[in-house]
A and B are shown apart, each in its own frame.
Chain A
């Protein structure tokens, strides 16, 4: 055995000496200027056993947020900047603000009126007029007195407000003084763990930044809240003036200019790409027509039977019974045709989502660069409110069912793309390597290994997409989409409670039936693997 192990001696915890030198060095390195003070303060904190702070940082108390800014403790800076501004606003209101100003003004007006009335009473010749004016003048005089009293009361409160402000400021200063070193010590601990991203020392940049922030925020806020009639420019953004400055007087606002320009651009694009857009609409329409013929063109008993049997085979007898009763509800209330139109709309949207989404997902799963480029677009497709892209869709594709399907695709496609890509990336490298080692070509690798192993994730994506498409079906009625959504939109426009609710339940049942059947089918698939 080596000597090092032999010499290793065991020391009881109570006998271990604290090695200060290394720590001092590190604290000095962290603190920069004034290192000795912080070495001392941090040692006091490290040695303390009670929760009461035993250090007081005079400069932190005096300089307040400016100190925390210079030391880059930004959380403390913002907290105490806001608190100190509140205190200063109170002080300002007490010192130079005039809390009773509006009341005093009113009192003066009432006094004038009373004096005027008294004058008229004096001028009046008839006794009745004299009495009437005197009476009025007395009433107004009373009101003026009461206003004056209130104004004086408010004035006398001013001192109280100022004292409250001063007390608040004192408390905040004391808190900062007592806790500054403790907070700075926390920052030091963070700095030890992650010196790269934790600021240390005192930099000129932070001092300047802190000074600018304090100078910009403090005086403006105090001014706005303590002076009775502050500048109008501070109350609302002067967009009209800025527009006039940029565009010239009388040329309209920036908003109207940009909006007009965009409208022209969209119109031009719609005109230029007219054939392309018409082609897309025709393609979507052909898919929709196929589904519509199958669902509405076929005799209703056939469609019902097929749906029920599918439910039974895919998801078992319970779902089949639920499906049958849902279909009965829809048919008995006369929703059969519109409900089938809805199913055709959703079906066409889902078919197109899957047909384009899965290949895209496979591509994004294989190419990191493509996925990085596509990710913001996918985020946009999912987060942009549907109402926003309905407008350009009308411009490019017109109104009716096919544009509705396109809007649905925008909303519904991201999940299947994302989950396919996720599934592709989740296929274990070792299994892919094995297939390649046995001579599989790229296509064989995709067909035999990657897609089968990614399929649970892909199926989850398809299910998500179906649900998203269903939820879009009401919204597309706004741009002329038909089906149950249209019924509900009409009910909404006339505030027709009964029809609205019945239609709503019909959509709910459609959604539940489709979801149950699909989930049941996927679960059976999953059990195989």
Chain B
């Protein structure tokens, strides 16, 4: 297991004048969200969030608007102070550090990208990207070099001296990403970065972003309200509902074993072709009694799409192998059920 970069332990956020009292009541009496609103006139933003993100992982936080995902992620750079709980970055408890140290961490270790770009309209693209460095009082020549390099990473070379308003939405968001990368942070916080873009640009940027993060090995917390996006980008996904993390798991986990009806409803419409792997739908070789002579073979990591390609030309099942060893078979009924999302007969 690689090093844990971000670790949240039982983080709560309650908004309102009487948040502390409400928190005590939640601790002692275990009251829920509606009672907190009724008794203390406080809104529960995040309830007991606990998770760890290892280095290099893209951790998606998925939820509908108002589910508390933006609130949760703002705890990590303390744009929002938690009501209770512990937040650690590389082993340091961020709620304990001083104001100066916090600013240093924000400037050096955490890059953030916002839904509405939030570029400064009066500064050139280059000066926008260089702003985190300017805050740290890096010399101008160094700043310019770094920001030109970051703009190169997002394919914006040649636009350095333009003003943000001269760029399209997709380009502006790439400037936002370059700005987040400029100070070479450990952690990237992406707050619905692609939500305001049109679908084609969004797909393009998702791929570009995924490749970039893989190359740079950045630990990323990626907020989205779009499960498709979470599945495309995320190594793991946390699904939030009303401030609670309902389920954490890999895309395949979530699609194949939804934790409750809420998640099930979400994953219903998701295409399983690229997600579901052979090993999760195969039956063991010994329990299968039909003919296997001349059947096609596939690795256990093959997805449904590949299995369909193999199965379409034969009446025989597909034999699944692991390291050259036959371990199971996928019959036509199993394959079809797998496409449906693992519904049982």
Q: What residues on B are CB-neighbors of A528 within 8 Å?
A: 122
Q: Which of B116, B121, B122, B132 contacts A438 (CB 8 A)?
A: B132
Question: Which residues of B85-121 have CB atoms within 8 Å of chain A's CB atoms?
Answer: 103-108, 110-112, 114-116, 118-121
Annotate B130-148 by CB proximity to A: 1 below 8 A, 0 otherwise: 0110111000000000000
Whether the pair B103, A437 counts as a contact (CB closer than 8 A) is no
Q: Does A246 contact B (CB under 8 A)?
A: no
Whether the pair A430, B131 counts as a contact (CB closer than 8 A) is no
Q: Give the distance in Å from the alpha carbon of A437 to the alpha carbon of B77 in the complex.
A: 7
Whether the pair B118, A433 counts as a contact (CB closer than 8 A) is yes
Whether the pair B118, A438 counts as a contact (CB closer than 8 A) is no
Annotate A410-453 by CB proximity to B: 1 below 8 A, 0 otherwise: 00000000000000000010110111111111001000110011
Whether the pair B135, A434 counts as a contact (CB closer than 8 A) is no
Whether the pair B120, A448 counts as a contact (CB closer than 8 A) is yes
Q: Give the distance in Å from the alpha carbon of A447 to the alpha carbon of B28 in the complex.
A: 46
Q: What residues on A are CB-neighbors of B114 within 8 Å?
A: 430, 433-434
Q: Which residue of A lies closest to B105 (CB)?
A: A439
Q: Does B312 contact A (CB under 8 A)?
A: no
Q: Does B1 contact A (CB under 8 A)?
A: no
Whether the pair A441, B106 counts as a contact (CB closer than 8 A) is no
Q: What residues on A are CB-neighbors of B121 within 8 Å?
A: 453, 529
Q: Which of A436, A444, A529 contacts B122 (CB 8 A)?
A: A529
Q: Which residue of A lies closest to B116 (CB)?
A: A430
Q: Give the distance in Å from the alpha carbon of A438 to the alpha carbon of B118 in the complex.
A: 12
Q: Does B79 contact A (CB under 8 A)?
A: yes
Whether the pair B118, A428 counts as a contact (CB closer than 8 A) is yes
Given contacts A439-B135, A439-B136, A440-B135, whether A434 and B104 have CB atoms under 8 Å apart is no
Q: What residues on A are CB-neighbors of B118 within 8 Å?
A: 428, 430-431, 433-434
Whether the pair A437, B131 counts as a contact (CB closer than 8 A) is no
Q: Give the distance in Å from the alpha carbon of A7 to the alpha carbon of B336 in the complex.
A: 35
Q: Which of B110, B120, B136 contacts A437 (CB 8 A)?
A: B110
What is the predominant secondary structure among interface residues of chain A facing chain B?
helix
Given contacts A439-B106, A453-B120, whether A448 and B77 have CB atoms under 8 Å apart is no
Annotate A5-41 by CB proximity to B: 1 below 8 A, 0 otherwise: 0000000000000000000000000000000000000
Given contacts A430-B114, A430-B116, A434-B112, whether A439 and B132 have CB atoms under 8 Å apart is yes
Q: Which residue of A lies closest to B132 (CB)?
A: A438
Q: Which residue of A lies closest to B136 (CB)?
A: A439
Q: What residues on B are CB-neighbors of A428 within 8 Å?
A: 116, 118
Q: What residues on B are CB-neighbors of A452 within 8 Å?
A: 120, 122
Most buried by A among B79, B118, B120: B118
Q: What residues on B are CB-neighbors of A435 within 8 Å?
A: 120, 131
Q: Which residue of B lies closest to A455 (CB)?
A: B122
Whether the pair A441, B103 counts as a contact (CB closer than 8 A) is yes
Q: Give the distance in Å from the alpha carbon of A435 to the alpha carbon of B106 in the complex.
A: 10
Whether the pair B103, A439 counts as a contact (CB closer than 8 A) is yes
Q: What residues on B are CB-neighbors of A441 within 8 Å?
A: 103, 135
CB distance from A471 to the nearest CB of B (A): 32
Q: What residues on B are CB-neighbors of A430 within 8 Å?
A: 114-116, 118
Whether the pair B79, A438 counts as a contact (CB closer than 8 A) is no
CB distance from B76 to the nearest CB of A (A): 10
Q: Give the distance in Å from the alpha carbon of A434 to the alpha carbon of B131 in the complex.
A: 10
Question: Which residues of A383-404 have CB atoms within 8 Å of chain B's CB atoms?
Answer: none
CB distance from B100 to the nearest CB of A (A): 9
Whether the pair B120, A438 counts as a contact (CB closer than 8 A) is no
Q: Give the distance in Å from the alpha carbon of A452 to the alpha carbon of B189 in the complex.
A: 26
Q: Which residue of A lies closest to B103 (CB)?
A: A439
CB distance from A39 to the nearest CB of B (A): 38
Q: Which residue of A lies closest to B189 (CB)?
A: A437
Q: Which residue of B lies closest to A438 (CB)?
A: B132
Q: Which of A433, A448, A529 contacts B131 (CB 8 A)?
A: A448
Whether the pair A437, B122 counts as a contact (CB closer than 8 A) is no
Annotate B233-252 by CB proximity to A: 1 below 8 A, 0 otherwise: 00000000000000000000
Q: Which of A431, A433, A438 contacts B135 (CB 8 A)?
A: A438
Annotate B62-95 by CB proximity to A: 1 below 8 A, 0 otherwise: 0000000000000001010000000000000000
Whether the pair A437, B79 counts as a contact (CB closer than 8 A) is yes
Q: Which residue of A lies closest to B127 (CB)?
A: A448
Q: What residues on A are CB-neighbors of B112 within 8 Å?
A: 434, 437-438
CB distance from B116 to the nearest CB of A (A): 5
Q: Which residue of A lies closest to B77 (CB)?
A: A437
Most buried by B among A431, A433, A438, A440: A438
CB distance from B75 to the nearest CB of A (A): 12
Q: Give the distance in Å from the alpha carbon of A437 to the alpha carbon of B132 in the complex.
A: 9
Q: Which residue of A lies closest to B111 (CB)?
A: A438
Q: What residues on B are CB-neighbors of A433 within 8 Å?
A: 79, 114, 118
Q: What residues on B are CB-neighbors of A529 within 8 Å?
A: 121-122, 163
Q: Give the distance in Å from the alpha carbon of A436 to the alpha carbon of B112 in the complex.
A: 10
Q: What residues on A are CB-neighbors of B77 within 8 Å?
A: 437
Question: Which residues of B166-189 have CB atoms within 8 Å of chain A's CB atoms?
Answer: 179, 183, 189
Q: Give the distance in Å from the alpha carbon of A430 to the alpha carbon of B110 in the complex.
A: 17
Whether the pair B79, A436 counts as a contact (CB closer than 8 A) is yes
Question: Which residues of A313-357 have CB atoms within 8 Å of chain B's CB atoms?
Answer: none
Q: Which of B104, B119, B179, B189 contacts A439 (CB 8 A)?
A: B104
Q: Give the distance in Å from the alpha carbon of A195 to the alpha carbon of B136 in the complex.
A: 58
CB distance from B161 to the nearest CB of A (A): 13
Q: Give the distance in Å from the alpha carbon of A441 to the alpha carbon of B99 in the complex.
A: 9
Q: Which residue of A lies closest to B106 (CB)?
A: A439
Most buried by B among A437, A441, A528: A437
Q: What residues on A are CB-neighbors of B108 within 8 Å?
A: 439
11 A–B contacts from the bound complex (CB under 8 Å): A428-B118, A437-B106, A438-B111, A438-B112, A438-B183, A439-B104, A439-B105, A439-B136, A440-B103, A452-B122, A529-B163
Using CB atoms and an 8 Å cutoff, list the residues of chain A in contact with chain B: 428, 430-431, 433-441, 444, 448-449, 452-453, 528-529
Known: A439-B107, A529-B163. 18 other contacts (CB 8 A): A428-B116, A433-B118, A434-B112, A434-B118, A434-B119, A437-B77, A437-B106, A437-B189, A438-B112, A438-B135, A438-B183, A439-B105, A439-B135, A440-B135, A441-B103, A448-B120, A453-B121, A529-B121
Using CB atoms and an 8 Å cutoff, list the residues of chain B in contact with chain A: 77, 79, 103-108, 110-112, 114-116, 118-122, 131-132, 134-136, 163, 179, 183, 189
* Top 5 closest pairs, chain A to chain B, by CB: A439-B107, A434-B118, A439-B106, A438-B132, A430-B118
